[in-house]
Amino acid sequence: MDDFENLSEEEKLKAENDFLKMKMMLERGAEFEKTEDGDALPADIENQFLRNIMEFEKQFDQHKVTTVFDKIGKPKKFRPASEISDDAIEDAWTELHNYMLEHGVDLSASSPKVTARELYRFTVEELFEHETDDIDMPGMISGFIYDEFYPDYEYDNTHYAVDDCIKIILEKDALDYTPHLAKKITLNNHENLSQESYKAIINQFKEAFDDIELHTAEAESCTIVETFCTVKGTYSATGFIGSDKLEWDSNWTVIFHFDDELGYWDIASVQIKGITF
């Protein structure tokens, strides 16, 4: 006890932090990486961090739920969207959004098609009644994404086709992981490929070049018919082999299929004209 009293405040905090870590390891199975002294957090910041984690887990274990409306203090000042003019809706949404942030709730949207009016309407008519974990901690934000309630498949699939498919195929780095793939994929004239075979063929193509420079990859259209979505676009790239180079400037098509069982879109076919895989 005397030895503890003789410690400096920082040394006491470090000792307490070690105790809290041990407690979390024994009770929660937590793991902590060892850090060099120069890389370690200041003792007071680490102490607050550990206490925040323990408080979060304590409240989470209680399994309390509340509505977003109750969580933000049951405000009465936000009128229905139908009562707000087009000239005033931007400011109304900004006020509502800032109010929610002050009370630990955030709403954002991925699709650029979602308007301020729709965000406001959705919040007061639907999100207010949505149930969420009743966890109250300083600085903690409960985040919601509009698109998770109302997905914009055209926007999402166009983004996936360009950024998660065409762009990563037409770059030099080896393909390690590709999201959104179906169990069986067609790649140009290769049909019924497994995900591993798909990646192997693409990586074999990449290995034939010293470098690949993608200039452009753009989507031009997205068509959804029942459970099929077809995204079409153009690309321009250059492959380098020693002092030689190969120019590509053509079209691509990515076809998605909606998996009814899992509830999301899979890439079922990739066609890139001008490329021989």
Structural domain span for residue 186: 153-272
264 shares a domain with 180: yes
268 shares a domain with 172: yes
- Judged against a pLDDT cut of 60, whether residue 47 lies above it is answered with yes
Left, alpha or beta for 233 (phi > 0: left; psi -120 to 50: alpha)? beta
pLDDT digits over 119-158, tens only? Answer: 999 999 999 999 987 767 666 788 999 999 999 999 999 9
Establish if 277 belongs to a structural domain: no
Last residue of a domain, one of 12, 28, 61: 61
Last residue of a domain, one of 128, 149, 170: 149
Q: What does pLDDT average to over the chain? A: 89
User: For position 231, which CATH number holds?
Assistant: 3.10.450.50
Residue 20 makes CB contacts below 8 A (sequence gap 6+) with 47, 50, 51, 54
209 shares a domain with 180: yes
- Judged against a pLDDT cut of 90, whether residue 38 lies above it is answered with no
Distance CA 72, CA 61 (A): 22
242 shares a domain with 162: yes
248 shares a domain with 167: yes
SS3 159: helix
Establish if 81 belongs to a structural domain: yes
104 shares a domain with 34: no
198 shares a domain with 179: yes
167 shares a domain with 117: no
What is the tally of structural domains in the chain? 3
Structure tokens at 101: 């942030």
Q: How long a stretch of residues is the chain?
A: 277
74 shares a domain with 57: no
Establish if 21 belongs to a structural domain: yes
Distance CA 256, CA 224 (A): 9
Distance CA 128, CA 139 (A): 20
212 shares a domain with 197: yes
Establish if 264 belongs to a structural domain: yes
Express as a percent the part of the chain with pLDDT over 90. 68
